[in-house]
């Protein structure tokens, strides 16, 4: 009897093999999952359903594209503020134009001029800027955060959102089911928002028995949009633990954007809201005409396991591959795929000044161990690696040739490139890139550079790093 049950279970497990072959384009990945299915019947298929699926149908993307009025309004904004149509002291370098063109094709949006950009590196200051913007809201407030914690900081924002909702402002709060698991369990916190007129929605709720792959596909974006005039994006979530205290230091980087590029972040929010709630939050009245707010050219690049698959990865790859002078990359989690890994090494081989800033201590220690397994070849190729030693590094930033600054939610890892919904703000501006470089080098001053002695670390430590590297796509 037991033999028959085991045999039936094994045969049922094998039914998933054709699905793996059909979905996995990478033969190494496909073979690994097939081996897991054969050697671990039942367990292997369950793990594949949770972690192996890397694609989802983005209903919000389709809905926004079907909304002719909203699409026409966005195109009108982009045409009126197209980077190619605004005067500037010199033409954009050919390499930057190629990046703009690629991102337009893979992530929908064109580059637009007339923007103001402020780089924010302190959590408390960023929260204060967000709160000031919320207090000035006249029409709507749209928030989308991977982590929203119902603590002292979360209560501050809850009070503000309720206050504005009572004043007649349309308020929407979107949070990720995994990143904000603590919020999902605080029904009183959520009910108080809903009872006072705030629209609250959970992104891809955990339905392990019906849609287990949702657990692995998360909305990692951190965006606040107010009246389609001002927006915040970057690495900072909502929570007290992200504030700097005497006992705890936390490094984040965000940007405050004012100008036409806000409409692109607005579009992304509307897509995400529709994906979660199956209704639009109120567009096209969310898109309004713009006046110039500054001199900077911005392009919003969004990616995820949907129609924009690999957009951010492609943008990073092209920017790094075309670099001539310098590449400064800050990332809290470094688990590159082979193409990205090779691009960094080849850039260093071309005598490009390649510097990688990563944490010395991490809130995800296993990811840190896996990431260190990649350092050897980078150091050998000439990449300079620094470990931030003044707290937890959570900022994400890329600066190329002193002309392009990228700040957003995406880490330089497989999860951000393939499985998470992410959004980056790409600023094509020497002025902003210089400001970003100042932030980068200030962080280097609080870091320790790894030398060739790192290559001589104990064999047992290398073994542990390589073990976790095997599981890096799941981390």
| Distance between CA atoms of residues 423 and 407, nearest Å | 9
- Of the residues 164, 394, 413, 443, which is catalytic? 394
**Residue 178 is encoded by which pair of tokens?**
């995994």
- Of the residues 170, 396, 413, 443, which is catalytic? 396
- DSSP bridge pairs for 268: none
**Residue 325 is encoded by which pair of tokens?**
């002078």
Question: Is residue 363 annotated as part of the catalytic site, yes or no?
Answer: no
- DSSP bridge pairs for 250: 392
Question: Is residue 222 annotated as part of the catalytic site, yes or no?
Answer: yes
- DSSP bridge pairs for 207: 211
Give the number of other Cβ atoms within 10 Å of residue 313's Cβ: 22
For tokens 């050219």, name the residue.
297
Cβ-proximal residues to 294 (8 Å cutoff; 6+ apart), any chain:
114, 115, 116, 117, 258, 259
The CA-based dihedral angle spanning residues 367, 372, 378, 382, taken in that order and rounded to the nearest 10 degrees = 120
- Of the residues 110, 176, 337, 401, which is catalytic? 401
Question: Is residue 401 annotated as part of the catalytic site, yes or no?
Answer: yes
DSSP 8-state secondary structure symbol assigned to residue 215: G
Question: Is residue 104 annotated as part of the catalytic site, yes or no?
Answer: no
- Of the residues 24, 61, 170, 222, which is catalytic? 222
Q: What share of the chain is helix, strand, coil (3-state, %, to 5)?
A: 45, 20, 30
- Of the residues 220, 229, 296, 314, which is catalytic? 220
Question: Is residue 125 annotated as part of the catalytic site, yes or no?
Answer: no
- Of the residues 227, 337, 413, 443, which is catalytic? 227
Q: Is there a contact between 283 and 245 (Cβ–Cβ < 8 Å)?
A: no
Q: Is there a contact between 409 and 332 (Cβ–Cβ < 8 Å)?
A: no
Which residues are marked as active site?
A: 220, 222, 227, 394, 396, 401
């Amino acid at each position: 009897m037991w033999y028959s049950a085991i045999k039936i279970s094994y045969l049922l497990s094998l039914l998933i093999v054709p699905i793996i072959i059909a979905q996995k384009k990478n033969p190494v990945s496909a073979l690994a999952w097939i081996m897991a299915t054969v050697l671990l019947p039942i367990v292997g298929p369950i793990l594949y359903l949770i972690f192996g699926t890397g694609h989802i149908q983005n209903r919000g993307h389709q809905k926004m594209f079907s909304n002719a009025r909203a699409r026409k309004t966005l195109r009108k904004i982009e045409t009126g503020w197209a980077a190619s149509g605004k005067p500037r002291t010199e033409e954009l370098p050919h390499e930057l134009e190629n990046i703009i063109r690629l991102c337009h094709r893979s992530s929908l949006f064109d580059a637009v001029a007339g923007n103001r950009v402020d780089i924010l590196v302190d959590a408390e200051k960023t929260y204060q800027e967000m709160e000031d913007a919320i207090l000035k809201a006249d029409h709507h407030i749209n928030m989308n955060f991977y982590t929203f914690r119902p603590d002292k900081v979360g209560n501050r924002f809850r009070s503000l959102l309720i206050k504005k909702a009572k004043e007649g402002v349309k308020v929407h709060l979107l949070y990720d089911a995994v990143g904000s698991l603590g919020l999902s369990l605080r029904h009183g916190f959520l009910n108080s928002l809903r009872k006072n007129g705030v629209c609250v929605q959970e992104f891809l709720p955990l339905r392990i028995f019906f849609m287990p792959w949702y657990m692995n596909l998360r909305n990692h974006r951190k965006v606040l949009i107010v009246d389609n005039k001002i927006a915040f994006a970057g690495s900072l979530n909502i929570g007290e633990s992200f504030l700097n205290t005497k006992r705890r230091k936390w490094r984040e980087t965000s940007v405050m954007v004012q100008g036409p590029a806000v409409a692109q972040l607005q579009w992304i929010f509307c897509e995400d809201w529709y994906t979660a709630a199956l209704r639009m939050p109120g567009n096209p009245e969310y898109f309004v005409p713009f006046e110039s707010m500054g001199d900077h050219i911005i392009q919003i690049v969004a990616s995820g396991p949907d129609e924009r698959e690999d957009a951010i990865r492609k943008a990073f790859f092209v920017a790094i591959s075309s670099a001539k002078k310098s590449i400064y990359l800050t990332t809290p989690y470094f688990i590159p795929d082979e193409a990205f890994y090779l691009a960094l090494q080849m850039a260093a081989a071309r005598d490009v000044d390649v510097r990688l800033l990563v944490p010395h201590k991490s809130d995800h220690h296993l990811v840190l161990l896996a990431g260190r397994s990649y350092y050897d070849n980078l150091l050998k190729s000439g990449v300079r690696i620094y470990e931030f030693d003044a707290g937890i590094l959570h900022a994400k930033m890329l600066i190329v040739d002193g002309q392009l600054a990228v700040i957003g939610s995406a880490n330089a890892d497989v999860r951000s490139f393939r499985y998470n919904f992410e959004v980056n703000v790409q600023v094509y501006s020497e002025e902003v890139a210089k400001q970003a470089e100042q932030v980068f080098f200030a962080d280097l001053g609080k870091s320790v550079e790894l030398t060739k002695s790192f290559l001589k670390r104990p064999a047992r430590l290398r073994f542990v790093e390589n073990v976790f590297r095997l599981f890096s796509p799941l981390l």
